[in-house]
Amino acid sequence: MAGLAVLALVFAGWRKNARAAARVPRREPIVRRKWIPVGIAETTAPLYKRPSPLRRLWAVVASSGIALVIGAVVAITIAFGTAYVVITLTDLLKQ
């Protein structure tokens, strides 16, 4: 298998590379419209304000609840799948 891989690499190296292609003459330059500067309005951004402790506590509680629900759904799905496979395989062994 390794010999075939080396042989494939040798044959791939004998192909013409991209630089062997004929050079294409350059075209006329593209005419572009005149450059006009765009005005920029500067405004001050409000400073960062840390969320209140109540909001942070709510974020922790909500994300924990979502994690528990998703974990329970995944565990139930895996359990039913495993039970189906075990029941199917034991039925096949009984036959």
Is 57 inside any structural domain? yes
Assign 30 to helix, strand or coil. coil
Domain tally for the chain? 1
Is 36 inside any structural domain? no
What are the tens digits of pLDDT across the range 29-69? 677 778 788 888 888 989 999 999 999 999 999 999 999 99
pTM above 0.85, yes or no: no
Q: Quick one: which H or E segment has residue 82?
A: helix 53-94
Identify the domain containing residue 86 by its residue range.
Answer: 52-95
